[in-house]
A and B are shown apart, each in its own frame.
Chain A
Amino acid sequence: MAETVTAYVKNVRDTAKSFWEGMSVTLSYMFRKPITTQFPDRMGVPVQQTIPARYRGFLEVDMDICTACLACERACPISVINIDTIKGDGKTKPKLAMERFDIDIGKCMYCGLCVEPCPTGAIQHTREFEGATMNFNNLTLRFVPDALSPIAAYKVPKGSDAFPRRQLGEITRKLIKAWDAPPPPFPSEEEAKQDHGKPKATGLDPAAMGRTLAAKALQVKEDKPKLQKVIEEAMAGTDCGDCGYPDCFGYSNAIAQGKETSAEKCAPGGAESKKMLETILVSLKTGVVPGAPAEAPAAAPAAAPAAAEEKPKGPPLAQTLSKDELYKVVLDAMAGTDCGDCEYPDCDGYTKGIVYEGQTDLNRCAPGGEDTRTKLYEIMLGTKPPPK
């Protein structure tokens, strides 16, 4: 392979030149600030501030402006949000309050669908994301800290479109802080020995509960789906699958259908479930609740037809009251969250629609649920609502 002198010299020159260029580039990087951020402990600013504003981190609910409309709960495709509401008389207790507002962050898939329908912007994604915890249960964010002191739902002032929200992230950060608390201590050997064999302090009397359930079961003996529900109440309800059925429904349904006769299969329920199930099975077989006062089984079947009978009633309120009085009554029956799910702007609009504009669909108040439906049918038609 012949090589000309020019090519030879060019090779040497190219080598020198590429060294010159390359080494000046690497040296220039040496004297520049490294791009690495030293997360988590050597950050100039908290890491949350370095994340884009629209980052979808942990959810946060500002209970001060939550209307308890349940729009987020319904929007969640995987039931991460759980809200329990409680109704009051509006005088000593708030008309609508929340006993529970839990978001299971361990299950949340950060889709953001709950944020969209919120009428006041109470539920938002924060930029918090560090979810490591000693106890998996910690991952449920409880925005109502105490179920015994429910938080009143926010009543949206007429015509307002801006709501006083707390600083985003503040509330969730406080809840997460609690995660740092150590997990409950592991019981020592002595403690474990003491606990063993002691009846659990549940306050539940399995014998009495079994009799109650057995009585109920006798009432609905022929209605298999209802019977199944009664039987399922005697089980632990953990859907563990230890019984050989996929879940509690499977086991209880098998008993209801008469295909299963063993009462011993509910492992999490233990001795209590076994006792209750035995009571139910015996009573189903004999038609008498064992060990119960004599009149109980007799009274139960008597009560059943009585409850089923329709009580004669007067005409519905809609026909007896004036429109303006009716308006007040109907508005009272609504959930009062102004969520807008009824396709009216607020509760006021829906009420006016029903009372003055001849709206016949009484099923639209989503946050009120079955309760509101029953009331509305009672008021407007004087009947029970049809099943959904």
Chain B
Amino acid sequence: MQSFLDSLIKNAGHDPATWPWTQFVYLAGMGAAAFIVINFAAITAGIFSWAERRVAARMQSRVGPNRVGPGGFLQWVADAVKLLLKEDLVPAEADSVLFRAAPYFMMVGFACVFVTLPFSHRLIVADMNVGIFFIIAVTALIVVGIIMSGWSSNSKWSLFGAIRSAAQIISYEIPGGMALMVPVLLAGTLSTQGIIRAQGGLPWQWFIFDNPAATAAFFIFFISALAEGNRTPFDLPEAESELVSGYNTEYSGMRFSYFFLVEWGNMWVMSALATTMFLGGWQIPFLSADEFDKLTGGLAVLAEVGSLAIFAAKTLFFVFVVMWLRWTLPRIRVDQMMNMCWKYLVPISFAGVLFVAVWMLIVHAAPWLGVAMRVALTAGGGALLAMFVMRTLKNIRDTGDKFDFTSNW
């Protein structure tokens, strides 16, 4: 953030180091950045709420909300207005102070992630050298919010939901964190921008195709992120059929909307993190990060916008995958959820970290082996993708239907 502001001021022909009140400029810059980031999070969460309903509808052969604005796009605005105008109820027997405070804890835990989450080559609030560690640490704050809301609601459903959520998030933090160690090892840094810089613009330069353990780590991270975000198939804390709505049962209006803002906003967070760690982030093909730094003038702006678009495209694709998973998989049981974490994800992620450490030594000795592995994995991934597309088209053909994405919107 500071360097970004410095470069802006230098471009305008001043030297910030000579100003007596630079600190205030930086402070104002921080405030502006916080405002932008929080609003970005809120608006994307709103848009995702609409997008998810449209995606869900089409996957179930329905139409979905399509009346408010073009294609129903403004549905989320209408919903937000409704939620803001609803009565803010506090149950009579609830611990009203904790009850009122809980949503803000969740919001803080969620919004802090955006501090080190990159958007493009230069667009990042703060490129901390402990970026990944910071993200893992602040996401744990969400658990505090959930437990607070569950406890203070003084309702058995809320408490059950909160306890399940705590168990789930704490369990899945282990495989999730270990899986994130793989790109950290490969890049040799905890900084998010540093990890993106260590990758490249083309698929075989991404960490996901670096070695088999990294591929496995990607999937483990993605599954853990789903679990930490309470997304289906890990939405046990909000299981409607058992717990009404889980920890947010007693909430209404504005406070309720905070919970959902966090849930949908988390989709961006987990997808952006996956993009950053495993899929080359904002890297533009055939333009290395060092060359990118040296660009000036209009070309630099163009490349900046391009990198922003690439990052957003990759992230939005994963947001779609998260929605897609939700409407594909049923909710798993609590014992299955724990089994999966401790028996499968934890051992595999630990083994993966060990494998990557050894693999790095091997590649150091014989670089051609690393290149061969990257190409082979990329080819394999491409082949799987092609097979999947063909399988999907076959599914459409087998039902006697045809590919039709544009009609009946």
Which residues of A does B touch, CB under 8 Å?
Answer: 3, 11-12, 19-20, 22-36, 38
Contact = CB atoms under 8 A, between A and B. Distances in A.
B21 interface: no
A22 B392 CA distance: 10
B7 interface: no
A372 to B, nearest CB: 60
B344 A34 contact: no
B408 interface: yes
A36 B391 contact: no
Interface in B209-240: none
Contact of B328 (A23, A35, A38): A23
B325 A30 contact: no
B327 A26 contact: yes
Given A22-B328, A34-B63, A27 B392 contact: yes
Contacts of A32: 61, 396, 399, 401-404
B324 A26 contact: yes
Contact of A24 (B60, B62, B327, B391): B391
Nearest first, the 3 closest Cβ-Cβ pairs linking A and B are: A28-B395, A26-B328, A33-B404
Contacts of B402: 32
B405 interface: yes
B395 A25 contact: yes
Q: State the main secondary structure of chain A at its contact with B.
A: helix
A33 B62 contact: no
B329 A22 contact: yes
B167 interface: no
B325 to A, nearest CB: 7
Interface of B: 55, 57-63, 324-325, 327-329, 343-344, 388, 391-393, 395-396, 399, 401-405, 407-408
Nearest to B403: A31
Contacts of A26: 59, 324, 327-328
B63 A38 contact: yes
Contacts of A20: 388, 391
Contacts of A11: 344
Contact of A33 (B344, B388, B401): B401
Contacts of A25: 328, 395
23 contacts: A19-B329, A20-B391, A23-B325, A24-B388, A24-B391, A24-B392, A24-B395, A26-B324, A26-B327, A27-B59, A28-B392, A29-B59, A30-B55, A30-B59, A30-B405, A31-B396, A31-B403, A32-B396, A32-B399, A34-B58, A34-B63, A35-B61, A36-B62
B404 A31 contact: yes
A23 B392 CA distance: 9
Given A24-B395, A25-B328, 14 more contacts: A3-B343, A11-B344, A22-B329, A24-B392, A25-B395, A26-B59, A26-B328, A27-B59, A28-B399, A29-B60, A30-B58, A30-B324, A32-B403, A34-B62
A32 B59 CA distance: 9
Most chain-A CB neighbours within 10 Å: which of B60, B395, B399, B402?
B395
Given A12-B344, A28-B392, A28-B395, A34 B57 contact: yes
Contacts of B408: 33-34, 36, 38
Most chain-A CB neighbours within 10 Å: which of B63, B325, B388, B408?
B408
B250 to A, nearest CB: 33
A213 B62 CA distance: 68
A114 B329 CA distance: 53
A370 to B, nearest CB: 60
B63 A27 contact: no
A36 B395 contact: no
Contact of A31 (B328, B343, B405): B405
Nearest to B391: A24
Nearest to B348: A12
Contacts of A19: 328-329
A31 B405 CA distance: 5
A33 B408 CA distance: 7
A36 B61 contact: yes
Given A20-B388, A22-B328, A38-B408, A28 B63 contact: no
A20 B401 CA distance: 21
A26 B330 CA distance: 13
Contacts of B61: 29, 32, 34-36
A36 B63 contact: yes
A26 B404 CA distance: 14
B57 to A, nearest CB: 7
A22 B344 CA distance: 21
